[in-house]
Amino acid sequence: MNLKLSKKNLSFVMAFMLSVTMSNMNAFATDGYFSTGQGTRNKGMAGAGIAFMHSPYSAAINPAGIAFLKNQWSIEASVGLFSPSRNYNIIGAPTTPDKWGYFDANGNFVNDPRYSAFGLTEGKVESGSTTFIIPAIAFTMKLGEKNAIGFNFYGNGGMNTDYDAKTYYSAIIDSFGNPLPDGNPNPMANVEAPTGVNLTQMFMALTYARQFGKHSIGISPIFAYQTVEVKGMQAFRDMGAAGIPGMPVDRSQYVTNNGISSATGYGFKIGYQGELIEGLRLGGSYQPKIKMSKFEEYKGLFAEEGGFDIPANWQAGLSYDISEDFTLMADVKQIMYSGVKSISNPMDPQQIIPFVPNPDWQGPNDPNVMMPNPNFVPLGDENGAGFGWEDMMIFKFGAEFRQIENWQFRLGYSYGKQPIPESEVMFNIIAPAVNESHISLGFTRMMGEHALNFAVTHALENSVKGINPFDPAQEIEITMNQWEFEIGFQF
Residue 49 to residue 71: CA distance in whole angstroms: 20
Range of the domain at 397: 3-83+135-158+197-490
Q: How many domains does the chain have?
A: 1
Q: What is the pLDDT of residue 159?
A: 84
Is 364 inside any structural domain? Answer: yes
Q: Higher pLDDT residue, 184 or 200?
A: 200
| Separation CA 491–CA 487 (nearest Å) | 14
**For residue 114, is it within any domain?**
no
Q: Kindly tell me if the per-residue pLDDT of 182 is higher than 90.
A: no
**Of the candidate ranges 173-177, 224-228, 382-386, the one whose mean pLDDT is the lowest:** 173-177
CATH number at 212 reads 2.40.160.60
Give pLDDT, residue 350.
Answer: 86
Please tell me which residue, 251 or 81, carries the higher pLDDT value: 81
Which amino acid is located at 68 in the chain?
F
Q: What is the pLDDT of residues 266-279, one digit of tens each?
A: 999 999 999 999 99
Residue 176 placed within a domain: no
Q: What is the pLDDT of residue 190?
A: 75
Span of 37-51, 59-73, 380-394 with lowest mean pLDDT: 59-73
The pLDDT, as a whole number, for residue 476 is: 97
Encode burial over 77-100: b for 16+ CB neighbours within 10 A, e otherwise.
bbbbebebebbbbbebebbebeeb
Q: What pLDDT score does 311 carry? A: 97
Tens of pLDDT, residue by residue over 432-449, are 999 999 999 999 999 988
Instruction: Please state the pTM of the whole predicted model.
Output: 0.89
Whether 412 is covered by a domain: the verdict is yes
Four-CA torsion 40, 45, 48, 54, nearest 10 degrees: -50
How would residue 112 be classed by pLDDT, with cut points 50, 70 and 90?
confident
Residue 315: Cβ within 10 Å count:
25
**pLDDT of res. 245:** 55
Highest mean pLDDT among 8-22, 240-254, 453-467: 453-467
Please give the pLDDT value at position 462: 96
Is the residue at 190 inside a domain? no
Whether residue 103 lies inside any domain: the answer is no
The overall average pLDDT reported for the chain is: 87
Closest CA to 280 of 214, 216, 374: 214
Peptide bond before residue 135 is cis, with ω within 30 degrees of 0: no
Asked whether residue 122 is domain-assigned, the answer is no
Q: Is residue 437 part of a domain?
A: yes
What is the per-residue pLDDT across 4-14, written as a single tens digit (0 to 9) for each? 434 444 444 44
